[in-house]
A and B are shown apart, each in its own frame.
Chain A
Amino acid sequence: MNAISWIHMAVALVLAPLLLGAINRTKARIAGRAGAPLLQLYFDLWKLLRKGAVYSRATTWVFRAGPPIGLAAVLGALLLTPFGKSGAVLAFGGDLVLFAYWLGLMRFVTVLAALDTGSSFEGMGAGREVFFSALAEPAFLLGMLGLARATDALSLSTILPGISAATWLAAGPALALIAAAWLVVLLAENARIPVDDPNTHLELTMIHEVMVLDHGGPDLALILYGAALKLWVMSALLVSLLTPIRYGVAWQDALVFLGGMLILAVGIGLIEGAMARLRLTRVPQLLMGALALAALALMLIIK
């Protein structure tokens, strides 16, 4: 726990919404559109924070508690997330489990808030969300276990910075498999194409967006910001895995990391631009595939 890691966390808090802006801009560009401004999410948040609120009569305190708890949970995960090759604010052996479970808490309160509205659409989204994430979580943790064994470390802040060029040389195929599995998990957990389409709100095929239909005003701002942070923390892990470069100078490492985040955002934008959403019944197969990749990687590392 040092000053640098606090600064890094502040940077993450400020830049997280930009990641979504970059994704959407890329998507628009390859579709031949100009696209929304890069800072669109900041404008949205600012607008939402100045609004009043409309609550459904069916809802209870659970609905209102959802957004603050969800944001706090993802902030708890951010506390544990290393900034590229630099350690997190809070680091300890086994923190990767807490990281996964903070995201689990965020999902749990979102799902309950959705069920609280009594809307069948939101219930439908909630049912899908819990199923897909129940498949995604083992894939994420198995990948993490493989990395822990490859780097002989137990904390996110030692595992991910510990991945060097040497690690890639020694276990390259396995790390690549884990990266692929994590990319699928990242897309699924953050409601991106090909699992979910963040652009449509009212289709029966929606997952994440449909769960927050009844939120508005400051509550929606908390949810959107929380979603941006979730995308940030999961991308941060993937980027740390994929950039085995370490200069040892804080600002240089930070630049490499931020550059990696930008490239990943563009990459997600390209995926979204190039692909259609999968049929819903195919999604479990995709996630099982990710799980299989992670398990295979783990076997390669253990041998």
Chain B
Amino acid sequence: MSLVLIAIGLLVASALAAFLLARAPRLATLCGVGGAMLAGLAGLIPSLRILLTGANESFVMPWSMPGGSLHIGLDAVSAVFLIPIFLITALAALYGGSYLRPFWGKRAIGFSWFCFNLLTACLILVVVARNGLLFLMAWEGMSLASFFLVVFEHDKKEAREAGWLYLVATHLGAAFLLIFFALLAREAHSFDFDCIGAMPQTIANAAFLLAVIGFGTKAGFMPLHVWLPEAHPAAPSHVSAVLSGIMIKTGIYGLVRTLILLGNPPVWWGWTLVGIGLSSGILGVVYALAQHDLKRLLAYCSVENIGIIALGLGLGVLGLSMGHPLVAQLGFGGALLHVVNHALFKGLLFLGAGAVAHSTGTRDMDRLGGLAKIMPWTALTFIIGSAAIAGLPPLNGFVGEFLVYYGALIACLPGGMANPLPAVGIVAGLALIGGLAAACFAKAFGIVFLGEPRTDAARQAHECGWSMRLPMIILAAACVLIGFGAPWAVAALKPAIADLAGVPAAQVFSATGRSMMLLMEVTIGFAAAAGVVVLLGFIRRRLLKNRPVRFAPTWGCGYAAPTPRMQYTGSSFALWFVDAFRWILRTERHRSLPQGYFPDAAFMTTETPDGFRELIFRPVFAQIRWALASLRWIQHGRLQVYILYIAATLVALLIWYASCL
């Protein structure tokens, strides 16, 4: 516990130091990176220890706020979220040190590190807070710090727009959370989480819905995701890695904590979560497939992965409410493991996308290509991340999804759930998402890194430095490690699963009745396949040893003068999907066809704006703005009258308070 507090202290101190050293970008960077990395190291130790021992630690201090005390706690569930927080922020900071180098002297580097380290501190505080007010303060700090990070390049219009959209969305979500905590506090007469106990079902239902909307906005549940594909690509890449890898997981954390606090979920909560999971998962990846911007693609894919996590949580809730503990444990286990896994590979992929953008100056996939030869390390780590996020064996993504699949399969058996329909939906949904995600990342990796460079920007790329490479290598190694070490990774999650499923840790997965650890055969299969790959590679090398091995151009089917621009682009690769889902995507095509005997230059562009944003949120907000315009006379810019407003409000509150006494 004390090490976590030290980590928070280190982060705040280094943030302030970076802020004060704004004039000296080198020192500010040193403070920011050093603080984040030291905090990461300090924080990983207690988090891992808690996860391995399953012990709970807490720290309580009286404070002057109403309703409870300053209460910080560390349990297995917190530890599951803390480990990726500490790991990813430390690595992202190391990467960001070099990534921001070109901006020295042009942008507020010190302020950027101030925000980054404050964001990290708030992320930690959100996960360990055991008091509603403390939680909300940390939540708000997190939102504000990340807003300033998103608008780092504030002279760009997209960055500003993305920042505002994010700020509005996150505060709308926070409003729901405010009501949520107020509701809980009214029932428990305290903001302290420990005081929250049994409550009437209607209150619990209302609290659940508030939590789904409030936390779901942060997590990026479809259709509350609209800010996500704008804000995540706009931020510098190391920040995108933190936002997409971890910050959206705080929404999941909030939901998980809510489920633990409320207890005894009714069946429809599970249905709700499964429905959200299916819509986010499938639509997220469909939108991802239609993107041209590599970072936007990754952002939409985060929505998809949040969907997979929601499917796991929904399955867990259904297992609990239908009295099927093993299904519950597998669902929650899959969700928690996928939280960690997604943090690892999405962090990795955003860092990789950042390395590409950093060295080529563009994120448009159709202008890239052939980078695997120029950036071998980035390519190697990116392909591992791509395969992992597509859920392919033998990497970590498969393991998390497998647990959810396994739980859903058990629920479908005759002795499983009374109503197997949601479980069928989960299996079908995961199968569809799996195929689409594989296509999406075949596109992302294949178009950007393989083939020939399509433009000069791609031809003149260069590999990034070691301080940017190392974080990617560590994350890729972690993906492989969790894949091959699946049984142990899952065993380490048992205390956290036990908290969620409401059983002692020793009983988690005991109902599978297996002699071996869960997933041991999967690991055996992985090891066998890896052995075969090495063996086949060796055999091929022996075969080719004394034979001619020549290099020639790609077979162009007899065409004499192919150019790299004739390669299949990402848009053409995804054409089938875009066509099949055009009723959702509503992709816009702008083109001018060649006409006449001596045609001019022709062009075609496609773009896929977010349908929910265009069709739902934009009209609704336009209406709201129109309705509120009549109140504009209140806001006229005269400071004295504003102060009068404040004074009047205070007086009114005082009168109200006095009348309540």
Contacts and interface: CB of A to CB of B under 8 A. Distances in A.
A213 interface: yes
A76 B451 contact: no
A55 B566 CA distance: 20
Contact of A145 (B424, B447, B553): B424
B115 interface: no
Contacts of A100: 431, 434
A142 B439 CA distance: 20
B450 A108 contact: no
A71 B406 contact: no
Interface in B415-439: 415, 420-421, 424, 427-428, 431-432, 434-436, 438-439
Contacts of A79: 525, 528
Contact of A127 (B409, B427, B568): B568
Interface string B521-560: 1101110111011001101100110011111111111000
Interface string A15-57: 0000000000000000000000000000000000101111111
A56 B554 contact: yes
B149 interface: no
B373 interface: yes
Contacts of A112: 383, 442, 445-446, 450
A97 B405 contact: yes
Contacts, number: 255
A102 interface: yes
B572 A90 contact: no
Nearest to B577: A131
Interface string A256-273: 000000000000000000
A80 B533 contact: no
Interface string B575-614: 1110010000000000000000000000000000000000
- Centre residue among A53, A67, A145, A219 by max chain B CB count within 10 A: A145
A152 B379 CA distance: 44
Contacts of B409: 93-94, 96-97, 145, 148, 154
Given A58-B451, A112-B442, A112-B445, A120 B547 contact: no
Given A115-B568, A149-B412, A202-B557, A108 B576 contact: no
Interface stretch (B2-10, B133-141, B384-392): B384-392
Given A62-B450, A104-B392, A116-B450, A302 B424 contact: yes
B557 A121 contact: yes
Contact of B442 (A111, A119, A122, A142): A111
Contacts of B566: 120
B420 A302 contact: yes
Given A115-B451, A126-B442, A68 B540 contact: yes
B393 A105 contact: yes
Interface stretch (A132-140, A161-169, A176-184, A239-247): A132-140
A243 to B, nearest CB: 23
B404 to A, nearest CB: 10
A252 B433 CA distance: 41
Interface string A57-101: 111111001011101110110011000000000111111111011
A117 B424 contact: no
A117 B540 contact: no
A138 B512 contact: no
Contact of B547 (A51, A119, A154, A219): A51
B377 interface: no
Interface in B364-398: 369-370, 372-373, 379, 383, 387, 390-393, 398
A141 B548 contact: no
B205 interface: no
Chain B interface, DSSP helix/strand/loop, else mixed: helix
Given A116-B446, A119-B554, A214-B554, A108 B438 contact: yes
A123 interface: yes
A72 B410 CA distance: 29
Contacts of B431: 100, 137-138, 140-142
A275 to B, nearest CB: 23
A60 B393 contact: no
**Highest count of chain A CB atoms <10 Å: which of B415, B447, B568, B574:** B568
A247 B161 CA distance: 71
A189 to B, nearest CB: 12
Contacts of B637: none
B414 A149 contact: yes
B402 interface: yes
B370 A80 contact: no
Contact of A68 (B428, B533, B549, B552): B533
Chain A, interface SS category: helix
Contacts of B463: none
B197 interface: no
Contacts of B398: 98, 101
A250 to B, nearest CB: 23
B537 A108 contact: no
A150 to B, nearest CB: 9
A60 B554 contact: no
B572 A127 contact: yes
Contacts of A60: 372-373, 379, 450
A284 interface: yes
B564 interface: yes
| Size bracket, chain A contacts | 35 or more
Contacts of B530: 72
A218 interface: yes
The residue among B402, B431, B555 with the most chain A CB atoms within 10 A of its own CB is B431
B564 A111 contact: no
A134 B438 contact: yes
A51 to B, nearest CB: 7
A116 to B, nearest CB: 4
Contact of A56 (B412, B544, B552, B575): B552
Most chain A Cβ neighbours within 10 Å, of B393, B452, B577 = B393
B412 A145 contact: yes
Given A60-B373, A101-B392, A148 B412 contact: yes
A72 B533 contact: yes
Contacts of B574: 127
B362 interface: no
B359 interface: no
B567 interface: yes
A79 B528 CA distance: 9
B413 interface: yes
Given A75-B529, A94-B409, A104 B549 contact: no
Contacts of B271: none
Given A76-B393, A154-B413, A214 B521 contact: no
A58 B452 contact: yes
B573 interface: yes
A222 B539 CA distance: 11
Interface string A275-298: 000000000100000000001001
Nearest to A94: B406
Given A68-B533, A130-B438, A138-B435, A57 B553 contact: yes
Given A56-B551, A118-B370, A105 B392 contact: yes
A19 to B, nearest CB: 21
Given A92-B521, A108-B392, A123 B572 contact: yes
15 contacts: A57-B552, A58-B451, A69-B533, A76-B526, A93-B409, A108-B387, A112-B446, A115-B442, A117-B554, A137-B435, A138-B432, A141-B427, A218-B539, A284-B580, A302-B421
Closest 7 CB pairs of A and B: A123-B568, A134-B435, A115-B446, A118-B451, A130-B439, A52-B547, A131-B576
Given A68-B536, A142-B431, A149-B414, 19 more contacts: A54-B550, A56-B552, A56-B553, A56-B555, A58-B452, A76-B528, A101-B392, A115-B450, A117-B555, A123-B573, A124-B568, A126-B442, A127-B573, A135-B435, A145-B424, A213-B555, A214-B555, A222-B536, A298-B424
Interface of A: 49, 51-62, 65, 67-69, 71-73, 75-76, 79-80, 90-98, 100-102, 104-105, 107-108, 111-112, 115-124, 126-128, 130-131, 133-138, 140-142, 145, 148-149, 152, 154, 202, 213-214, 217-219, 222, 284, 295, 298, 302
